[in-house]
Amino acid sequence: MELTITEHIVRINIIAPQGRIDAFCTPELRKQFEVLLGKNEIKFILDLSAVTFLDSAGMAALVSLLKAAREAGGDVKLVWPKEEAAQRILRLTRFDRVFDIADNQKAALSSF
């Protein structure tokens, strides 16, 4: 019997920023996204658990990554921030409908 075995590895990049994601530091975050997308990475987990503040510029960066990833056949999952006020903002802007948001990295990984 002839048998062909091919190893297919799916990489999921876990990005865990700490502190603020705002207009001041979002350019650096976007650069990191572009580097990974340039390497043909298409699956991402953005672990926001240590994020203390997220503004519209940060949200826009997350949406840009989501669109790029999905266009390439991948996806972006989020992990909820521990900061309760930041969680409320994600619900207010309905990010919980645009993204799958998990309670922790393990849950996010298993949602792929």
Partner 1 sequence: MMVSSKVPGDVEQPDRSPAERPAEGASSRSGPSIGCPAEMNCYDTIRLDLPATYKYLNILGACLTEMLSRVEGLSDPEVLAYNLQLAVHETCTNIINHAYGETRPENRIEITLKLEPIPRSLIMELQDTAGGAFDLSKIAEPNLEEGQIHGYGLFLIRSLVDEVNYESHSGKNIWRLVKKL
Closest distance to partner 1 from the beta carbon of 76 (Å): 10
Q: Which residues bind partner 1 (CB under 8 A)?
A: 20, 22-24, 53, 55-57, 59-60, 62-64, 66-67, 83-86, 88-89, 92-95, 97-99
Nearer to partner 1, 35 or 60 (CB): 60
Please, what is the Cα angle at 72 between 20 and 18, to 5 degrees? 15
Residues 10, 73, 34, 88, CA torsion sign: negative
Question: Which tokens in the block code for residue 67?
Answer: 């669109």
Residues 26, 63, 18, 43, CA torsion sign: negative
Nearer to partner 1, 65 or 79 (CB): 65
Nearer to partner 1, 28 or 103 (CB): 28
